[in-house]
Copies of this chain bind each other. A is one copy, B any other.
Amino acid sequence: MGAIRLGILGYGNLGKGVELAVRQNDDIELVAVYSRRNPSSVKIATEGVPVKSAETLESGEEPLDVLVICGGSATDLPKQTPHYAALYNVVDSFDTHAHIPEHFAAVDEAAQAAGNTALISCGWDPGLFSLNRLMGNCILPQGADYTFWGKGISQGHSDAVRRIPGVADAKQYTIPVESALEEVRAGNNPELTTRQKHLRECFVVLEDGADAAEVERQIVTMPNYFDEYDTTVHFISQEELDRDHSAMPHGGFVLRSGESAAGSKMIIEYSLKLDSNPEFTACVLVAYARAVARFAAEGKSGAITVFDVPPAYLSALDGAELRAHML
């Protein structure tokens, strides 16, 4: 197989991350970035690679082994992934857990009809964390699951704070409670409430004349987002926010705490510590894009998830090399 020809649809943080990740994989070649904006207004980092209008994809004739769809889960991907799965092999990072079954069904129908391979819900959660939940349950059927997120910026919670009147800008960090993590690691299988698992910390820039106490009250009492958590609010300047909170770190922990039928305790822990959430998600998407290209070359059609991918398919090395050096 020659180089895998990859296209990026959407040039936001995730699309830029995919562009970076392609550079680290010699067997993958970036063919083009496709944008819904005016292509001439989109400047990409890679020299010699064209930016094309998303319209160009409609022909189904773009020379792509796989199209990585970098839209958002709320409104973009539910439309985009089924649409483009009818034209190309695709990968997306659809992350609205509750709607995965219907997204899978829509993408599967389109991909099957067209004879394409479509991997949905790839990244780290859903994605690598899901793999660890699945494998933990299969290996230790008797046990408890724990997922902690953070420390990292939650986009949804940051947006919610920014919508409060009087707030000019804001970032929200989700922070796992260290003592809860330690109790899980000790094998105590605690029953943890929402409040016991995560803290929330907000950095808020007020508009001129806004009432800090009232803004804080609205944040900490906000239903679903904050009321079930212990939340700390810091008021800072826009300069401080830009200087200290512009990065997009994230991460988290998946633990399976189980025991054998003889009562021996076993703990499996998986964790990620990421300076850049979108850049890491992109690294995962590109590794799985390789698997999609391989499935497609084998004639596989329909939707798949990370659960369906043999780990060897993520690698450019062949089976003999993997067994000799990685097993």
Residues in chain A within 8 A of chain B (CB atoms)? 17, 20-21, 23-25, 97, 100-101, 104, 121, 126, 128, 130-131, 133-135, 137-142, 185, 187, 259-262, 264-276, 279-280, 282-284, 287, 290, 305-312, 314-315, 319-320, 322-324, 326-327
| In the complex, residue of chain B having the shortest beta-carbon distance to the beta carbon of A104 | B323
The 10 A-B pairs of least Cβ separation, nearest first, read A264-B276, A264-B275, A138-B314, A307-B312, A20-B261, A260-B279, A267-B273, A138-B287, A23-B261, A130-B327
> Could you tell me the distance between the alpha carbons of A279 and B267 in the complex, rounded to whole angstroms?
13
> Could you tell me the distance between the alpha carbons of A97 and B326 in the complex, rounded to whole angstroms?
9
* Docked-complex contact B308 and A21, CB < 8 angstroms: no
Min CB distance A306 to B, Å, is 7
Min CB distance A111 to B, Å, is 14
Min CB distance A308 to B, Å, is 5
Whether A139 contacts B283 in the complex (CB less than 8 A), given A17-B260, A307-B312, A322-B134, comes out as yes
- A283 cross-chain contacts in B, Cβ below 8 A: 139-140, 260, 266
* Docked-complex contact A307 and B280, CB < 8 angstroms: no
* Docked-complex contact A100 and B307, CB < 8 angstroms: no
- A268 cross-chain contacts in B, Cβ below 8 A: 128, 270-272
* Docked-complex contact B275 and A265, CB < 8 angstroms: yes
* Docked-complex contact B327 and A137, CB < 8 angstroms: no
- A101 cross-chain contacts in B, Cβ below 8 A: 320, 323-324
* Docked-complex contact A266 and B273, CB < 8 angstroms: yes
| In the complex, residue of chain B having the shortest beta-carbon distance to the beta carbon of A291 | B138
* Docked-complex contact A276 and B260, CB < 8 angstroms: yes
* Docked-complex contact B139 and A284, CB < 8 angstroms: yes
* Docked-complex contact A134 and B271, CB < 8 angstroms: no
Min CB distance A70 to B, Å, is 15
* Docked-complex contact A323 and B100, CB < 8 angstroms: yes
